[in-house]
Chains A and B, each alone.
Chain A
Amino acid sequence: MIGALIIVFREVIEAGIIVGIVMAVTQGVRGSRLMAGAGVAAGVVGASLVAAFAGVLASALNGVGQELFNASILSLAVCMLAWHNIWMASHGRQLAAEARQLGQEVRSGARSLFALAIVVAVAVMREGSEVALFLYGLVAAGGTTASDLLVGSALGLAAGVAVSAVTYFGLVTIPPRRLFAVTTGLITFLAAGLAAQAANFLQQAGLATAMSDTAWDTSAILSDTSLFGRVLHTLIGYSDQPSVLQVVVYAVTLAAIFALTKAFAPRTITRPPQTPLAQNG
């Protein structure tokens, strides 16, 4: 039972953290709960489909279907996170300050929510398909221990949901003004980590063959399969044996999103303050 608990928990922890971050980012925005719920639901459906057609997917596209699929959905998530950050940088401050009621902004807000719903769906689908396959294996293997293992899996899932809750409640205790900066940073690192994972799938598919050497090996110091390593893996993309390509992709993604977010941010400093009290934005 403990084994099943650990395996399921390990798989859902990444999705749990991402869902927690997204919910904190969109906290208070109308429709955000619905968005998160829809993202999770779409992810669960997607995960079941991916698990059910795992054999088909693996043999698709000359045997690299699984890698290309993973690389594609990870890239989509990176793109959505980057877009969200840039959009928030250019509109978010005003939205937070104003009442979020003007038609244009509500529409834009809904689009931003949609982008994050995709991120949630991708995260749940990626991790969820592995859980679904693992559970299928348990059921298919049958035997007297199956129910015991299912209980373990349910507890593992509950623990993953708890991680999500801890992430969310941890983030929302940050004062709103700081929260914006914190989540912008978190999303940037999150996106860079996902981009590095996508690069790994392209290498595994044999599509990216350059820079395949291992950049460093810190598995003896902090294994990325340990609990803390996994949390760091999700939050900042920590990997104990990355390829050089992964490191390069990580750095480029990080720099690009930071630069774009900065470039699209309104220059509040050069603008004359409207009231003496409104300067600290």
Chain B
Amino acid sequence: MRNCSLLSAIGLTIAVAAGAAAPTLADDAAPVQITLKDHKFDPAETTVAAGKPIVIQLANQDATPAEFESKELRVEKVVAGGGSITVKVRALKPGRYRFFDDYHEATTQGFLVAQ
């Protein structure tokens, strides 16, 4: 088990180092800005370029936490009340991709349209 812990520690170190280095590989497109307020995404629909990696910046202006989630985009990230998060999304094929707040899935949703 000692070896195992050591491996995990090494893995974590590499991951952290990579995380620290990652932003230097600048993302070409401007991030998609989305605001969450009164449990509504604004804009509720954003058009992005297909075939390029996307960065989404979500600002939660509600006092309550939310979980930004999308199965199609393969994203799952908690955003604290009043907090903001950055999410990286792979290069998308053209299409309409749904995202939602996992805590209010039925009412709080938005779309990313790749074209």
Instruction: Give chain A's interface residues, CB within 8 Å of chain B.
Output: 3, 7, 51, 54-55, 58-59, 61-68, 71-72, 75-76, 79-80, 82-83, 111, 114-115, 129-130, 133-134, 136-137, 140-141, 200, 202-207, 209, 212-214, 219, 224-225, 240-241, 243
Contact = CB atoms under 8 A, between A and B. Distances in A.
30 contacts: A3-B106, A7-B103, A54-B78, A54-B79, A54-B83, A55-B80, A55-B82, A58-B78, A58-B84, A65-B19, A68-B16, A72-B8, A72-B15, A79-B8, A80-B4, A115-B1, A130-B67, A133-B78, A137-B66, A137-B103, A140-B63, A200-B74, A203-B90, A204-B87, A204-B88, A205-B19, A207-B22, A240-B71, A241-B72, A241-B74
B64 interface: yes
Interface residues on B, range: 35 or more
B49 interface: no
B94 interface: no
Nearest to A206: B88
Interface in B41-95: 53, 63-67, 71-72, 74-88, 90-91
Is chain B's interface secondary structure helix, strand, loop, or mixed overall? mixed
B33 to A, nearest CB: 14
Interface of B: 1, 4-5, 7-8, 11-12, 15-16, 18-20, 22-23, 53, 63-67, 71-72, 74-88, 90-91, 102-103, 106
A207 B23 CA distance: 10
